[in-house]
Structure 1
């Protein structure tokens, strides 16, 4: 069955209403048992001709995504990438961490009129980002969200490849941190790294039996026990300077200078505002 081709259906309704900077947002990395969750935000030029081959990133090969991502960056008005670290995931849970990554990506766009986000409505999201529409299966239906899904996937895969070089044996360059048989067996054999999400039930089940004495929660800082979660997320949003924490999802003492520099370069390049090329418009 052929993959669904996303269209400008949702964007056109907003363009007709006078909106210009429409942001498509998608995330990658909710299900893996290690690594950061990454979100991308993309603004395309109104009525720009669609890039052939853009689909939901899950339906594309790695080679196809790697080919499309730089084209998207060149054609887009702006591209922003945000992430939430493993420490943040274990502290505020993956649900809130995912939305935090989205908000960080949107903040790097530099202003917008409306946001299109993949998935369901999010409590408190409009207060943080302004007017938005939630589109179920948006990465398959909405062109701008599909572009964001490709950028987010390429960035996160590169980050996991960096970590794989530092922690060989887990196969992260192939499984991107998902709980594949290869990854589960490696955890049983090698144990956890600082980049594993200790709050994840799948990880606890993997370790049960042969590493039952390991305290899975000894590094989780429960800062939300008595605090309002949205207020605390606002505080985190106000401190985007945790570059290393966000990029590598660990702690500065555990990251090599080369890995830091390369990861920072990946995200810095991803967050550069792009200058649209060509004058093609959609018909």
Structure 2
């Protein structure tokens, strides 16, 4: 049976898209050091992503936009990105293992596994790909919207990011439905 692992990256940031990846690994496949992407350095994630893309049977990365996040909410946008990732696989999966406690609506059976990104290799692989793509987007946002520090905080609500939001206001890449961004919009509209 072709089983894909599915995970997301980017639910927490105040800016940018939310990403999801789906990965089908060959039977018996292993990779030293592969685990939950949050436990890996950026360099290690990039190295592992190259291996995963080269050695998996199929992989797909998809996203939901800032506009979709603001329209649907972050949970539903995450589910949408996961659906897109599974549908984007060049080889159709027959079953999906999803990291977390919720399963998106899919055309195949699926199971949610809390902490699956640390226990299931296919989910770990998806975790790595999603995080690499989300971080790459943050680097692009740094170039498009200088001054916010996206390359440093990757869009998360750090002290630097919150300070720059207050100073510069929200950009088009910010999630207007997130409270700190809404607060910055209200503050900047008062002047």
Residue aligned with 2:57, SS: strand
Of 202, 213, 216, 2:190 maps to 213
By how many angstroms is 1:156 displaced? Answer: 1.0
By how many angstroms is 1:121 displaced? Answer: 3.1
Greater strand share, structure number: 2
Report whether the alignment pairs 1:26 with 2:4: no
Report whether the alignment pairs 1:106 with 2:83: no
Aligned to 1:93: 73
Q: Compare CA radii of gyration and give the structure with the larger one.
A: 1
Of 128, 135, 145, 2:123 maps to 145
Which residues of 2 match residues 102-251 of structure 1 at below 5 A? 102-110=82-90, 111-122=92-103, 125-126=104-105, 128-206=106-184, 210-211=187-188, 213=190
Aligned to 1:63: 43
Distance 1:206 1:59 in 2: 32
Report whether the alignment pairs 1:38 with 2:19: yes
> Which sections of structure 1, spanning at least 5 residues, go unmatched?
1-18, 215-283
Report whether the alignment pairs 1:79 with 2:59: yes
By how many angstroms is 1:116 displaced? Answer: 0.4
Contact 2:15 2:156 in 1 (8 A): yes
Residue aligned with 1:116, SS: strand
Deviations 1:86-125 (CA, angstroms, capped at 9, x unpaired): 0000001111100000000001113111000001133xx3
Deviations 1:148-207 (CA, angstroms, capped at 9, x unpaired): 000110011111101111111111111110000111111111111101000111322455
Residue aligned with 1:211, SS: helix
Contact 1:106 1:129 in 2 (8 A): no
What is the TM-score of this pair, normalised by structure 2?
A: 0.94
State the aligned residue count: 190
What is the TM-score of this pair, normalised by structure 1?
A: 0.65
Distance 2:107 2:78 in 1: 14
